[in-house]
Amino acid sequence: MAKVLVIDDDRLICDALMELVRNIGHEAECALSVKEGLAKNLSEEFDVVFLDIRLPDGSGLDMLPQLRELPIPPEVIILTGVGDPDGAELAIRNGAWDYLQKPLSPKKILLPLQRVLKYRDTLRNEGSNQLSLKRCGIVGSGPAISLALERLGMAAHSDASLLLTGETGTGKELFARALHENSKRSRGPFIIVDCASIPANLLESTLFGHVKGAFTGADRASCGLVLEANGGTLFLDEIGEMPLPLQKKLLRVLQERKYRPVGGCQEVTSNFRLVAATHRDLNEMVQKGLFRSDLWYRLGAMSITLPALRERKEDFEELTRHFAQRICDKNAIPPKTFSDDFMEALSRYDWPGNIREFTNVLENAMISAYGHTELFANHLPERLRIAMLKHDLVANDDASSASGYVETSYDQCGTLPPYKEYRNHVLEKADKWYFSRLMEAACWDIERACSLSGLRKSRVYDQLKQSGIEKE
């Protein structure tokens, strides 16, 4: 018997879903808010959570990372009253099982529920056989990186092509190597090809090799990196930079595992697994005719999107200590400790360069503080401190502007409300002021409101509901 939790602020929907779940022989409970839903998940173990996006005290999507952090996380089926492609993408990327749009029929609910319960049974039966991953230098235990590692473990059981996506510097090469080391090909070679660093006219021969005299300068034959990867893994980094003609040849190689070297007459066979990576949006490139759709479909049989560093704030301390030790060993620097203001400064910065930028900044700070045993925020590079200072000044200006929209009552003896209460009041009033005028400016057109505000539809809808703003 499974346990199901319904989190929705509509009591009628809760009652209907609970009755449906109980009729097929399972237990069901409900919660009417984010706070109540989190409390129930902390006190009990649920197999499935039906989660509404728009709740009175927040967005259901914001709950997903917290649910993933639970010792035995439930499978989450998202419920929404408004179909939002961006919200659906965000939900799936954060580990949701499915995304259902209201109104909900019994059939629409029962099918995904039965599938997810069957999956939970499989997890219980095979729990003792789960793969123990070799991390190969991947650091962190927060929900974002844990979800990526979970998907890496599933991919390691397969021999299908894998596509790694994410911003530059998020560790795609580390994940590719970890996949190789955890796969049945771990004893074979791991060959790396950076498609962005090799000139387009040389990339084909680099991959597929060439015979002697195939082109000017080919004074001897080359077997190519695809053949070198035989029995192992071929990692094509920045595959979005590959020229279209070569994409067609790569597609045939993936389908047949056969190809001809440049200038050659005989076919060569190579049994390799392909792992590709890119920081570019291949879907958008396909729409613009810059990337072959058939190759994209072939690459995307399995895919993992790596989280940006700004989405991994809970891993900062672990990352700092790990890389600090490596930097000390590399530069023969005595071990350092880190002040609270140093760690706070690291967490306030957005890290557009991700892990690569993080390690460079940390090394710069540790070398500049060579004679000190403890690092402080002033040891960070000047450009970083200036960027954080500008961010704080803008935030303070925004808060000051917001306070102009609030009428705060207090007596003449100087009694003020608690700061947290006042701050929440200020932000609530500011949000209501802003979104009221946003919808007026957009003439209640959601698409135009998103364009004006730079927000996604799900965020706009959530703010309208939380602020109680309705079209007159």
Domain that holds residue 291: 143-307
Report the C-alpha gap between 42 and 71 in whole angstroms: 10
User: Which residues make beta-bridge pairs with 274?
Assistant: 234
Residue where a domain stops, chosen among 358, 390, 422:
390
Cα–Cα distances in angstroms (integers) from residue 176 to residues 190, 318, 358, in the given order: 9, 22, 20
- Which one is predicted more confidently, 108 or 282? 282
pLDDT in the model for residue 125: 64
- Same domain for 160 and 88: no
Among 388, 309, 391, residue whose Cα is nearest residue 341: 388
Pairing mode, strands 273-278 and 268-269: unpaired
Rounded to the nearest angstrom, the gap between the alpha carbon of residue 95 and the centroid of all alpha carbons in its chain is: 10
Interatomic CA distance for residues 308 and 351, integer angstroms: 8
* Helix segments in 229-376, DSSP class H: 244-256, 282-287, 293-299, 316-331, 340-348, 354-368
Count the neighbouring beta carbons within 10 Å of the beta carbon of residue 386.
Answer: 10
Express the helix, strand and coil content of the chain in percent, nearest 5 each: 50, 15, 35
Find the Cα–Cα–Cα–Cα dihedral 340, 341, 342, 343, rounded to 10°.
50
Average pLDDT, integer, range 54-67: 86
Band of the pLDDT at 129, cuts 50, 70, 90? Answer: very low
The phi, psi pair for 246, rounded to 5°, reads: -75, -30
Quick one: 316 and 303 in the same domain?
A: no
Same domain? 73 vs 109: yes
Indicate which CATH number applies to the domain containing 63: 3.40.50.2300
Amino acid letter for position 417: P
Residue 400 has pLDDT above 80, yes or no: no
Would you state the structure tokens that stand for residue 107, as one six-digit string?
Answer: 């059939």
Do 16 and 147 lie in one domain? The reply is no
Residue 411, pLDDT > 50, answer no
Does 147 share its domain with 287? yes
- DSSP structure class, residue 239: G
The percent of residues above 70 in pLDDT, for the chain, comes to 90
Question: Residue 405: its pLDDT value, please?
Answer: 47
Nearest to 353 by CA among 344, 345, 362: 362
The answer on 161 and 282 residing in a single domain is yes
pLDDT tens track for 290-325: 999 999 999 977 899 999 999 898 899 999 999 999
Residue 456 CA to residue 453 CA, distance in Å, equals 9
Q: What is the mean pLDDT of residues 53-72?
A: 85
Q: Helix (H) and strand (E) counts for the chain?
A: 19, 16
* Bridge-based pairing state of the strands 302-305 and 233-237: unpaired
- Whether residue 34 is contained in a domain is answered as yes
CATH of the domain at 154: 3.40.50.300
Same domain flag for 104 and 153: no
Contact 294, 126 (CB under 8 A): no
Q: Which residue has the higher pLDDT, 60 or 244?
A: 244
Beta pairing, strands 58-59 & 258-259: unpaired
- Give the pLDDT score at 432: 83
- Phi, psi of 54, rounded to the nearest 5 degrees: -100, 105
Sign of the four-CA dihedral 63, 65, 66, 71: positive
Give the pLDDT of residue 353: 92
Give how many domains the chain has, as a whole number.
4
Cβ atoms of residues 328 and 302 within 8 Å: no
Q: Are strands 54-55 and 58-59 parallel, antiparallel or unpaired?
A: antiparallel
> Could you tell me the pTM of the whole model?
0.67
Q: Which of 424, 417, 320 is nearest to 366 (CA)?
A: 320
